[in-house]
Amino acid sequence: MISLVLSILTSVCIFLLFKLFGKYRVDTFQAIVFNYFTALICGLVFFGHEWDNTAFSNTSWVPSVFICAVLFISIFALMGISSLKNGIGDTSIAAKMSMALSMALMIVLYNEPFSTVKLIGIILALIG
């Protein structure tokens, strides 16, 4: 239950921060890039002892990492722009609907077994 509450709070805080960026004239792109370096430092501090050099022996995953990085930065930049122009509520609803629809599409594209639990999850995500 604590994880659910924290998830909801952080989701709302992201959009509130983007709205405050506009109010205090913070460059959204710079804030996103700064956040990446902050996340890297936090990851090394808290999980640095779990570092595994053998993961770098096979670098077939590197292109996927770069694609994900570009997509994450782009999505956060679009969320920031949308929060400033359209408001927090509209942007939050659009983000959650796109996530629920993406999950439904992945179930179909990857031939995942469709269950009642997955259907309820998608419906609740759209309602939420």
Q: Tell the residue number behind the tokens 């460059």, with chain if given.
A: 27
| Pair of tokens at residue 35 | 């956040």
The predicted structure's pLDDT at residue 98: 78
How many C-beta atoms lie closer than 10 Å to residue 91's C-beta? 22
| Pair of tokens at residue 108 | 């179909």
Q: What is the pTM of this model?
A: 0.65
Band of pLDDT at residue 6, cut at 50, 70 and 90: confident
pLDDT over threshold 70, residue 128: no
How many C-beta atoms lie closer than 10 Å to residue 36's C-beta? 13
The residue among 120, 18, 119 whose CA lies nearest residue 76 is 18
Tens-place pLDDT, residues 19-76: 888 889 999 889 988 988 999 899 889 988 887 778 777 888 889 989 988 988 888 8
Largest CA distance in the chain: 48
